[in-house]
A = this chain, B = another copy of it.
Amino acid sequence: MSFTYRRQYRGPIKAVVFDMAGTVIDYGSQAPAASFVELFKKRNIEITTAQARKPMGLHKRDHIREILAMTEVDHQWRKKRGGAPTEEDLETMYREFVPIQVACLPMHGTLIPGAAKIYETLHARNVKIGVTTGYTKIMLDIALEYAGKQHFIPDAAFCADDVPRGRPAPWMIYKCLEQLKIYPPEAVVKVGDTIPDIEEGLNAGVWTVGVAKTGNMIGLSVQETAKLHPEELDTRLRKAYNGLYRSGAHFVVDGISDLIRVVNKVESRLAAGEKP
């Protein structure tokens, strides 16, 4: 009775789960950032894009709550509206937020360069494609419609509305895996552009890949990125990589066009007996 046997998965990757905005579509994750700024403007509260981006990745309701909790925002609110924001305010704002963002989604539905190619390559390798997002159901449906027209058609997709709590909880990934009939978690990769994305993956026990350049960490459109002074871009990228690595990402890349290289590396590490 003295021998134990340690099971090790040494097979291929079976599924990749993607975040949407900033990872698959909407270079720079523009849609949500702009919508939050507009939402607060309506209440006469000025927030910077940086402030709007800080909690990105979370459920949109949690996102608004986090902005309201920022010292400077709380300050403005109290001064201009005579009192702290209430749970009711939060609920109203969340209801208002949805149509604002829905309205701007069409302008931000283009696939990020490389996404269509990655989709094709993974499918050819018999890897299932999942999607998890902080979006609500309505937004997710629109995003999927746009992505689909550009030939990115996931096998499963879940949003924050489908689970009791959004990221960093792993429930959306679990739902994807159940629908895709894929296990063990060692055979799965999560890809996303925010720290909550990475944590969602780690909390599900899967491999995690951060996307540093095309999403919320830089927060600029293709055009804006191109205009940036190379040194400035380098500084920002370094910070983005560092932020994602420090949250525990197994890999960080500029964008999903670098993903196949990473999937290959993960498979080598699996073959060598490593776990995520």
- A residues bordering B, Cβ < 8 Å? 1-12, 163-165, 169-171, 174, 177-178, 181, 183-187, 202-205, 237-238, 241-242, 245-250, 252, 273, 275
Alpha-carbon distance between A203 and B204 when the two chains are bound, in angstroms: 12
Could you tell me if A5 and B3 are in contact, using CB atoms closer than 8 angstroms?
Answer: no
Alpha-carbon distance between A230 and B251 when the two chains are bound, in angstroms: 38
Q: Which residues of B contact A202 (CB under 8 A)?
A: 7, 184
Q: Which residues of B contact A1 (CB under 8 A)?
A: 11, 237-238, 241-242, 245, 252
Could you tell me if B165 and A171 are in contact, using CB atoms closer than 8 angstroms?
Answer: no
| Most chain B beta carbons < 10 A, residue from A1, A4, A12 | A4
Can you list 5 A-B pairs with a CB-CB distance of less than 8 A? A164-B178, A164-B181, A171-B174, A174-B178, A205-B205
Q: Assuming the A-B contacts A184-B205, A185-B185, A275-B275, are A246 and B174 also in contact, with contact meaning beta carbons closer than 8 angstroms in the complex? A: no
Q: Which residues of B contact A174 (CB under 8 A)?
A: 171, 174, 177-178
Could you tell me if A184 and B203 are in contact, using CB atoms closer than 8 angstroms?
Answer: yes
How far in angstroms is the closest Cβ of chain B from A1?
5
- Looking at the complex, which one of B5, B170, B237, B249 makes contact with A248 (CB distance below 8 Å)? B5
How far in angstroms is the closest Cβ of chain B from A70?
12
Give the nearest-CB partner of A5 in chain B: B5
Q: Which residues of B contact A163 (CB under 8 A)?
A: 178
How far in angstroms is the closest Cβ of chain B from A24?
23
Q: Which residues of B contact A249 (CB under 8 A)?
A: 4
Q: Which residues of B contact A2 (CB under 8 A)?
A: 9-12, 187
**Besides A1-B11, A183-B204, 12 other CB < 8 A contacts?**
A1-B237, A1-B241, A2-B187, A4-B8, A4-B10, A5-B246, A6-B6, A7-B248, A164-B178, A169-B181, A170-B184, A174-B174
How far in angstroms is the closest Cβ of chain B from A199?
9
Alpha-carbon distance between A165 and B177 when the two chains are bound, in angstroms: 12
- Looking at the complex, which one of B9, B183, B203, B245 makes contact with A170 (CB distance below 8 Å)? B183
Q: Which residues of B contact A6 (CB under 8 A)?
A: 5-6, 8, 248, 273
How far in angstroms is the closest Cβ of chain B from A55?
14
Alpha-carbon distance between A273 and B237 when the two chains are bound, in angstroms: 22
Q: Which residues of B contact A250 (CB under 8 A)?
A: 4
